[in-house]
Each structure stands twice: as C-alpha cells, then as structure tokens.
C-alpha cells in the first residue's frame, strides 16, 4: 500500500492552506528546492560549461523522460522532454498527419478540448493548407470517426469538467478507421493510471507542472509509440534532435527514436527541479492513487451536497467517468473562489461559471477536503463572496 502520509511530508504546504489546485500548479516538493540550490551553485556555479558532461545535463531530458514514461505506461526510451505542452501538441500533430493515410483531410477533436490545443492545431492546419479541424461534442467523438479523419486529437481528461474519455476504445476506433490517435495527458499524468501502451496510442503529450509538481513552466513531454519513433518526422527539426548535434552538419538528419523530438537546448534548471519532484512518485502505486483520489473527491462531493446544496455539479457524478477533479457551477463562481481563497481554500475559476477543485492524494487528506467543503458551504450560505474586492478579476484566474 502506498504511504500517503509519507508522500505528504515530501511537500511544502503553507500553514493554514487547503490546496485544491494541484491540477493547475502542483506545490513545491522539498527535494526540488534542494536540487535547485545544488544545480545553481555546485553545477552551474562551480562546474560552468563542464557541467554539460560532468553533471550529465545533456542526458537529463532522456533520464527524466524515462521517469515520466513509467507514470504513463510507456517503455523506457519512448518519451522526450522539453518545450511547453503547446509546442509538443504542434510536433505530435504534425508527425501524426505525416503518418496518416494519403488524402485524408480532417483532424477530429472535441469542443471540450483545451483552447491552446485547438489554437495550435488551427495554426498548423492553416500553414499546411489542406486540412480541416472538426470539433464535435465529447460524447460524439467515437461516432464522428470516419474515413475522412486523418488524426483524432483529444485530451483524455476535460480541463473544465474532468470528463474522462475512454482512451483505449477511442484509439481502437480511430485505428479501425485508419486514423492516427494523439492524446493530451495534461490532466491525466499523475492524476490517474495511464497506459499508453495498452491503449495503443500513437502519440501522447502532457505537461509536468500540474499533477507532476514540476514547478511553474516546467518542461512538457512527448511520447511516440516505438513503432513510429524511427519514422516520425519532427517538424521542429532543431539541432538537439539531430543524429549528431556536435557534428554541426549543414543538413538535418533526425536522431534515432524519440530523441528526434528534442528541439533546442534543454531547460536544465527546470528539468532538474522536475527530476527531483518526480522522486515523490517512486513509492506510489497508481491503483492506490486512483482509489484515494476517488475517495477524496467522493467525500468532497458528498459534503458539498450537504453544505452547499444549491451548487450544481458540472462533472460526471460517476467517479469512474472523471479524472481527479470536480467542478461546480455558480453564476458568480469567480467571486466565490476568491472568497474561498481568503479563507485558505485554494481552488480555481474557469470561465464562464465554473469553480474547479483538484484532488491530489500525494498531499491531501480526507479531513482537509471535508473542511474545505464546510468552508465552501459557509461562503455560499452567508454570501461571503458578495464583496466588491472578490469581484475584481486578476489577470490569471
Ligand atoms: C494546461 C494545458 C495546456 C497548457 O499548455 P502550455 O503550453 O503548457 O501552456 C495545454 N493543453 C491542455 C489540455 C492543458 O490542460
């Protein structure tokens, strides 16, 4: 059994805070703080440029990639780290289109997908000039996969509602229709068991600053199924994805396997912090994680139904049909979230009317989620949110 008291002790959680926003920015792992200090002084400071070899900075992306691979059911050597998720969506989609059958014109996604994924797809398809981005309601995706579809590009867990796609079933359907499947695991990696191998995904991408606690702007990951890794075209053909970067050849030759998805100089500070953050997962069993995530979210949902019965659940009521978050509708959701934060309960707001709460078993207890629900009940029943300063919108919500 995973010891969740032990994992909690690995994080800095400020006193008086109940943190229900680890789905947006995971908290600081203590090991990350220590690693950052070492990388800054002992590596960058003392070793200077020798650190690329002596501190093994150059292999850091692959070493961290192997640690992320384990959390998403991918074999070692199939995940590359770097850039941001938006960039990795671009790379994965471009590579998927190049592998799709000749003559297909449609990239299929759903209307619940994260805007950046749709923007990036739109921009890429405009540049390529011969494709159409088609979005349908999440429930209609499977039925919309037909012989025109080149690529099915979906986010497994909906960032607003937490609704979970059946990655395996949808991928199978895509493959039967001859299409390539690209999965965004932004709200899946570290949130629930993921098995890209069993699901037979062609490509998967995700970020590491949410449930993986890598810190603000920590690097993204890209998985390429081993069967595609030596033929996939890395549209961003940067020197560090070259077969021999230090040969400085005039022409591009892709590196073997997923290494070709590297682009430029790795973000060493951020990757080092992420590497330390991933220590927290070493003794975590993902089946235990899922069971506890469901227990926490069910405890919260049950308590909210009692303490704040006027709130509508915007997430699937069946815990098996959602990721590790719950969202509730309120016409003044933004102000309610600000009032909660003032009481030490940090969740977030998603336009137009959702308050969103993430359940992260590594550092949350049932006691905390019950207290958070009681505070939410107070904020609603006493109209605590209805004060002018809670309505003023900050730039980041
Ligand atoms: C969080 C998130 C992003 C953010 O992309 P960045 O490039 O890291 O800013 C993109 N897609 C999805 C589905 C997300 O949840």
Residues 250 and 321 in one domain: no
CA distance linking residue 146 with residue 152, whole number of Å: 10
Q: How sure is the predictor about 396, in pLDDT bands with cuts at 50, 70 and 90?
A: confident
- By alpha-carbon position, which residue is closest to atom 6 of ligand 1? 85
Check residue 158 and give its pLDDT.
Answer: 98
- Count of domains observed in the chain: 2
**Residue 266 within a domain:** yes
**Residue 78 within a domain:** yes
Which residue, of 246, 281, 316, is where some domain finishes? 281
Cis amide bond preceding 213, omega within 30: no
What digits encode the pLDDT tens for the residues 294-321? Answer: 999 999 999 999 999 999 999 999 999 9
Q: Which atom of ligand 1 is nearest to the CA of 84?
A: 7
Rounded mean pLDDT of 120-127? 98
**pLDDT at 393 exceeding the cut of 90:** no
Check residue 326 and give its pLDDT.
Answer: 98
Q: How sure is the predictor about 397, in pLDDT bands with cuts at 50, 70 and 90?
A: confident
Q: In angstroms, what CA-CA distances link 46 with 41, 42, 43, 55?
A: 6, 5, 6, 11
Helix (H, G, I), strand (E, B) or coil at 284: coil
Average pLDDT, the chain: 97
Count CA atoms closer than 13 A to 195's CA, side-chain side. Answer: 9
What digits encode the pLDDT tens for the residues 151-160? Answer: 999 999 999 9
Check residue 228 and give its pLDDT.
Answer: 98
Top mutation candidate among 117, 162, 188, 327 for ligand 1, by most atoms within 8 Å of CB: 117
CA distance linking residue 352 with residue 391, whole number of Å: 13
Residues 328 and 266 in one domain: no
CA distance linking residue 10 with residue 19, whole number of Å: 15
% of the chain surpassing 90 pLDDT: 98
Q: Which atom of ligand 1 is nearest to the CA of 184?
A: 13
Which residue, of 261, 281, 301, is where some domain finishes? 281
Instruction: Note the residue count of the chain.
Output: 397
Residues 259 and 326 in one domain: no
Which residue, of 281, 311, 334, is where some domain finishes? 281
**Residue 204 within a domain:** yes
Check residue 124 and give its pLDDT.
Answer: 98
Pocket of ligand 1 (CB under 6 A): 84-86, 114, 116-117, 155, 159, 184, 186-187, 207, 220
Check residue 42 and give its pLDDT.
Answer: 98
Residues 73 and 211 in one domain: yes
Q: Could you tell me the residue range of the domain that residue 254 belongs to?
A: 32-281
Q: How far is the CA of 209 from the centre of ligand 1 (A)?
A: 10
Residues 196 and 341 in one domain: no
- CATH number for the domain harbouring residue 378: 3.90.1150.10
Q: How sure is the predictor about 81, in pLDDT bands with cuts at 50, 70 and 90?
A: very high
Per-residue DSSP letter, 25: S
- Decide which of 397 and 44 is more confident: 44
**Helices 85-99 and 115-128, packing angle to 10 deg:** 50
> pTM of the predicted model, to two decimals?
0.98
What digits encode the pLDDT tens for the residues 202-255? Answer: 999 999 999 999 999 999 999 999 999 999 999 999 999 999 999 999 999 999
**Residue 316 within a domain:** yes
CA distance linking residue 122 with residue 52, whole number of Å: 37
Q: How far is the CA of 260 from the centre of ligand 1 (A)?
A: 22
**Residue 19 within a domain:** no
% of the chain surpassing 70 pLDDT: 100
CA distance linking residue 183 with residue 269, whole number of Å: 27
Closest alpha carbon to 162 in 192, 206, 135: 192
Residues 90 and 233 in one domain: yes
Residues 265 and 337 in one domain: no
Q: How far is the CA of 116 from the centre of ligand 1 (A)?
A: 6
Phi, psi (degrees; rounded to nearest 5) at 263: -115, -75
**Residue 5 within a domain:** no
**Residue 216 within a domain:** yes
- By alpha-carbon position, which residue is closest to atom 8 of ligand 1? 85
Active site residues: 114, 184, 209-210, 356
**Helices 30-38 and 268-277, packing angle to 10 deg:** 140
Check residue 227 and give its pLDDT.
Answer: 98
- By alpha-carbon position, which residue is closest to atom 3 of ligand 1? 85
**pLDDT at 368 exceeding the cut of 90:** yes
- By alpha-carbon position, which residue is closest to atom 14 of ligand 1? 186
Q: How far is the CA of 121 from the centre of ligand 1 (A)?
A: 13
CA 161 distance to own-chain centroid = 15
Residues 80 and 183 in one domain: yes
What digits encode the pLDDT tens for the residues 265-274? Answer: 999 999 999 9
Check residue 87 and give its pLDDT.
Answer: 98
CA distance linking residue 337 with residue 111, whole number of Å: 25
**Residue 161 within a domain:** yes
Closest alpha carbon to 168 in 150, 159, 181, 187: 181
Residues 71 and 136 in one domain: yes
What digits encode the pLDDT tens for the residues 345-359? Answer: 999 999 999 999 999
Residues 259 and 303 in one domain: no
Check residue 75 and give its pLDDT.
Answer: 98
**pLDDT at 39 exceeding the cut of 90:** yes
H helical segments located in the chain: 4-8, 30-38, 46-47, 51-54, 60-71, 85-99, 115-128, 141-144, 167-176, 196-199, 226-229, 268-277, 286-307, 333-342, 366-381, 388-391
- CATH number for the domain harbouring residue 223: 3.40.640.10
A 10 A CB-CB count for 397 gives 13
Phi, psi (degrees; rounded to nearest 5) at 145: -80, 105
Check residue 102 and give its pLDDT.
Answer: 95
Top mutation candidate among 24, 26, 82, 86 for ligand 1, by most atoms within 8 Å of CB: 86
Q: Which atom of ligand 1 is nearest to the CA of 155?
A: 13
CA distance linking residue 150 with residue 185, whole number of Å: 20
Closest alpha carbon to 271 in 223, 222, 210, 220: 220
Rounded mean pLDDT of 92-111? 98
CA distance linking residue 368 with residue 360, whole number of Å: 12
Residues 96 and 196 in one domain: yes
Sign, CA dihedral 47-48-49-52, equals: positive
Q: How far is the CA of 246 from the centre of ligand 1 (A)?
A: 32
Top mutation candidate among 116, 119, 163 for ligand 1, by most atoms within 8 Å of CB: 116
CA distance linking residue 144 with residue 106, whole number of Å: 11
Q: How far is the CA of 123 from the centre of ligand 1 (A)?
A: 16
Residues 244 and 300 in one domain: no
Q: Which atom of ligand 1 is nearest to the CA of 210?
A: 1
Q: Which atom of ligand 1 is nearest to the CA of 114?
A: 13
Q: How far is the CA of 210 from the centre of ligand 1 (A)?
A: 9
CA distance linking residue 86 with residue 119, whole number of Å: 9
């Amino acid at each position: 059994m995973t010891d969740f008291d032990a994992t909690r002790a690995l994080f800095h959680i400020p006193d008086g805070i109940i943190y229900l926003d680890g789905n947006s920015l995971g908290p600081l792992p203590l090991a990350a703080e220590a690693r950052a200090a070492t990388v800054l002084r002992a590596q960058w400071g003392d070793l200077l440029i020798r650190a690329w070899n002596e501190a093994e900075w150059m292999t850091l992306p692959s070493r961290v990639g192997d640690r992320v691979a384990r959390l998403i059911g991918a074999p070692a050597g199939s995940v590359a780290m770097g850039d941001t998720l938006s960039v990795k969506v671009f790379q994965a989609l471009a590579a998927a289109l190049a592998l799709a059958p000749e003559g297909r014109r449609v990239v299929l996604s759903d209307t619940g997908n994260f805007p950046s994924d749709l923007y990036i797809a739109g921009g890429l398809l405009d540049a390529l000039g011969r494709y159409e981005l088609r979005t349908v309601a999440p429930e209609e995706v499977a039925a919309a996969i037909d012989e025109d579809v080149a690529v099915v590009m979906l986010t497994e867990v909906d960032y607003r509602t937490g609704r979970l796609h059946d990655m395996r079933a949808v991928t199978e359907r895509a493959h039967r229709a001859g299409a390539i499947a690209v999965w965004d695991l932004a709200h899946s990696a570290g949130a629930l068991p993921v098995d890209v191998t069993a699901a037979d995904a062609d490509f998967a991408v995700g970020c590491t600053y949410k449930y993986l606690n890598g810190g603000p702007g920590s690097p993204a990951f890209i998985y390429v199924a081993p069967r595609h890794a030596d033929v996939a075209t890395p549209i961003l053909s940067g020197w560090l994805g070259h077969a021999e970067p230090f040969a400085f050849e005039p022409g591009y030759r892709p590196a073997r396997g997923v290494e070709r998805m590297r682009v430029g100089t790795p973000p060493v500070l951020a990757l080092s912090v992420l590497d330390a953050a991933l220590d927290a997962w070493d003794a975590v069993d993902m089946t235990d994680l899922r069971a506890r995530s469901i227990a926490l979210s069910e405890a919260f949902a049950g308590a909210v139904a009692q303490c704040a019965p006027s709130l509508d659940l915007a997430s699937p009521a069946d815990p098996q049909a959602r990721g590790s978050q719950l969202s509730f509708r309120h016409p003044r959701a933004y102000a309610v979230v600000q009032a909660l934060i003032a009481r030490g309960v940090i969740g977030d707001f998603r336009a137009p009317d959702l308050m969103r709460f993430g359940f992260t078993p590594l550092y949350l207890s049932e006691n905390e989620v019950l207290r958070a629900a009681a505070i939410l009940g107070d904020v609603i029943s006493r109209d605590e949110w209805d004060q002018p300063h809670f309505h003023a919108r900050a730039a980041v919500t």
